[in-house]
Amino acid sequence: MLVASVGNLNFDVYLKVGELPGVDENVEAFDLYTGGGGSAANFAVAVARLGLGARFIGAVGEDPLGEMALRELREEGVDISHVKRVPSARSGVVVVLVHLDGSKRMLSYRGANLGLSPSDLTVEKFAGVRHIHLATGRVEIIARAREIAREVGATVSIDGGTALAKKGLDVVKSVAEGVDVIFMNRAEARLLTGSSDKSAVKKLAEELKARELVVTLGPEGAVAYDGARLLQVDAFRVDAVDTTGAGDAFAAAYIAMFLQGRDIYERLLFANAAAAIKVTRPGARSSPRRWEVVAFLESLGYKI
């Protein structure tokens, strides 16, 4: 089963810090590590590790950072044959400041990612795709990909992040109607509704007219509404090292179970487990393999 992920591919630089510097101040970092990033690319790697076919569609510069990012995707088994090279732009870079408690702050340079245009999305690039995941806040990209999904008969999920939520409820509604799954985190839900409690999630889902809305709540787990059932499943308690990419690992695991026809409880349980494993590891691409998620759940008495 082939899943295509559309959006950003970045090279991430992580600095582990105990505090943020003030103006003209210097703070010593406890650790430094680097690796591939970008929500759509992270999702593609996570999907591949869960045993599904993965294709990434995005854009990079013709520079060493872009080549390193692509090589990492290739080594993970992700199809990168449809990635656009943008010779006049630098590849995307994100500096991630990771606090000792695992929380993060990010500085993003989009660079070549902005070189992906709707005209780059063609039916041929989505041949054989069963599901399209849109990890982007660019409305024009979402709209074009949804057109193609209808042509190829693929289901669709959107994780537009803060970039999409900041455009307001009307814009989000314009791209969400009829979409199979919409993902957002607590902060994004609050931007749209002023609240992230269960009643607000149900109301927001009904306004968006998506088939499913899933809101991640960090250490409190996640809540989903599918038009018939509103359910919150608690997170697993673990010692977080780095939360970067946890939402992407969650979304990939949720979609993997969605495509298997599992019910909403099983999807949330499996996705929470995948995210829990991920946050115990550094880097955005440290999502677990399927057997790891199954073993984690079995160790706690769950059967999946």
Query: How many other CB atoms sit within 10 Å of the CB of residue 304?
Result: 14
For the whole prediction, is pTM greater than 0.95?
A: no
Residue length, the chain?
Answer: 304
Report the distance separating Cα 290 and Cα 287, nearest Å: 10
The question of whether 248 is a catalytic residue gets the answer yes
Contact 156, 180 (CB under 8 A): yes
- Which pLDDT score, from 0 to 100, does residue 36 have? 84
Q: What is the pLDDT along the chain (304 residues), one digit of tens a residue?
A: 999 999 999 988 888 888 888 888 898 888 888 888 899 999 999 999 999 999 999 999 999 988 888 999 999 999 999 999 998 889 999 898 888 887 878 888 999 999 999 999 999 999 999 999 999 999 999 999 999 999 999 999 999 999 999 999 999 999 998 899 999 999 999 999 876 677 788 889 899 998 999 999 988 999 999 988 999 999 999 998 888 889 999 999 999 999 999 999 999 999 999 999 999 998 888 999 999 999 999 999 998 8
Report the distance separating Cα 77 and Cα 288, nearest Å: 14
- Which pLDDT score, from 0 to 100, does residue 171 have? 94
Catalytic-labelled residue, pool 12, 180, 226, 248: 248
- Which pLDDT score, from 0 to 100, does residue 49 have? 97
Question: Which of these CATH numbers, 2.170.190.11, 3.40.50.720, 3.40.1190.20, 1.20.140.10, describes 2-299?
Answer: 3.40.1190.20
- Which pLDDT score, from 0 to 100, does residue 283 have? 83
Report the distance separating Cα 64 and Cα 207, nearest Å: 44
Contact 73, 276 (CB under 8 A): no
**Geometric angle at alpha carbon 113, from 107 and 115, rounded to 5°:** 140
Task: Please give the structure tokens belonging to residue 53.
Answer: 């076919």
DSSP code for 88: T
Q: What is the maximum alpha-carbon separation in the chain?
A: 54
- Which pLDDT score, from 0 to 100, does residue 221 have? 93
- Which pLDDT score, from 0 to 100, does residue 196 have? 66
- Which pLDDT score, from 0 to 100, does residue 4 have? 98
Task: Please give the structure tokens belonging to residue 194.
Answer: 């002023």
